[in-house]
Every structure is written in structure tokens, then in C-alpha cells.
Amino acid sequence: MKPLTNHTLLYDQECPMCTAYSDAFVRCGLISEEGRKPYTNPGQQFQAVDWDRARNEIALVDHQQGTVRYGVDSVVTILAQRWPWLGLIANSRQVRKMLSILYFFISYNRKVMAPGNRFEAYHHCTPSMNKTYRWAYIIFAWMVTSLILVSYFRHFEPVIAPSGFMRETAICAGQILFQGLIVMALRKDRLLYYLGNLMTVSLVGAFALLPGLIAGRWLHTPYFFMGWFALVVAGMFFEHKRRVSVLELPQVVSYTWVLYRMLILFTVLI
């Protein structure tokens, strides 16, 4: 099948997620390399684009019709040329509503899920700060992280007593509050940006524990799980440190992140 013609996808070239899925469209032959342009350097033929809307919903310009699709409509149009049934399913109002919620959940949080090398700025393709979707993401990451940690810490017995879901959610909530108060004291305007990044680090760390859980089917010593956990936390520290730099926050925020974890460990052990 030939790539979509007479269309141009305007993507955020500074967003790793946007670059990844637009690259996937090109590799799969859904669009050509010439069929996508960076948001910040598109050329002169895109007067019909609502640039403010395109920061939140990726724009697909139809040069033949002189129209622009945004967000879910853009993605469905690209995919439906190869899988027409996707377009039929997406025409359902209920399905379209669910897809839109999922799309905005990702779009509004994409810069905290996978940040670039510099802080978001309005003149770049930066999504609007939607507090509802940001808190939804924070709560989602909080719950998933807590569930995984409960399963993982069961393998620490008998060295450390197993943890329950309520305790893990309380510990995660404490981290959000502890770090949030510090960031509020340093740079209040970066609070929700930081909390989103904080929870991404926690979520990625929780997912990194899953191979340890799988290995636990054959390894039954708590010291393996404790060692794997220490390696994951070390990786989380460096990723947290990198994100703090991107957010232009003082590095003390990374060390208070460690301090909170040490305080929790001390509390658990006594």
C-alpha cells in the first residue's frame, strides 16, 4: 500500500514519543518522510493550521481539500488507510469519546512521560497544562506503582516484613507530599511539572522490577530481590537527577528524594 499522499503531519520533533510514533508511521509506509514536518519549522503552506490547538492535538494537513484534522482524527485517518475497519470503529460516538480521553491523557502528559533535553516553553510545541489530566496521570502512576511494589516486597521475607497495599499507597503519597513541599518552596511554578516527572520515574522503576518478579519463580532468596531493587533505585536516582536538570530545579531536589527513601527504609527496619 502506498503512503498517504497530499497530507502533511505536523509533529513535535522535540518530543521523544512524537518522534517515535511518526518514525513508526514512516517505517510502516503509512506516510512518507516528506509527509511529516516539524511543528517549529513547517514551511509557508500551512496557514489553515490552528497552531495553538496543534500543540495539544497533532495536526494532519490535507493539501487537496485545504482542511486540517487534529488529534484522534489525524491518527485514525493515517491508520485507516491500511486498516479501514479502524475508521469504522472510531466512528462510534462511545469509542471516539474513549479514544479522545486516552489521547488527551497521553498528549497533555507526554512531556513528563518522556521529556526532551530542555524544559517546555510556549513557543515550542508544548502542550497546555491541563491540571485534570496531570493529576489523573499522577494518581494512575501512584496506584500502579503501589500495586507492583506490594507484589515485589513479598519476596523480602523474612528479612523485611511484607508490605500491604495501604502502606505502599501511603508511602507513595508521602513521597508526593514531601517532594512537592520542597519544590513549592523552591519554584512553585514547576510543581505539577515536577510531580508528573516524579511519578514517571516511580512508574518506570516499578516496571523495572517486573523482571525480578519473573525471576522469582526460580530464585527464592530475598537477597536477590533486595539486590535487584537496589540496582533499580540507583537507575531511578540518575533518571530523576536528569529530569530535575531539565526542569531547571536545584539538584538538592534529587538528594531529598534519596533522603525520603532512607527515612522510609529506617522506619521499616525498626
DSSP string, 10-68: EE-TT-HHHHHHHHHHHHTTSS-GGGEEETTS--SS-TT--HHHHTTS-EEEETTTTEE
pLDDT at 94 over 80: yes
Q: Is the peptide bond before 158 cis (omega within 30 degrees of 0)?
A: yes
Q: What is the pLDDT of residue 121?
A: 60
Rg, the chain, Cα only: 22
For 200, counting Cβ atoms within 10 Å of its Cβ (0-12 exposed, 13-18 middle, 19+ buried), the class is: buried
Query: Is 83 in a helix, a strand, or coil?
Result: coil
Query: What mean pLDDT do residues 57-75 have?
Result: 89
pLDDT at 144 over 60: yes
Q: Which of 40-54, 113-127, 131-145 has the highest mean pLDDT?
A: 131-145
Render 65-81 in DSSP notation, one character per residue: TTEEEETHHHHHHHHHT
Q: What is the pLDDT of residue 162?
A: 67
Q: Which of 62-66, 216-220, 253-257 has the highest mean pLDDT?
A: 253-257
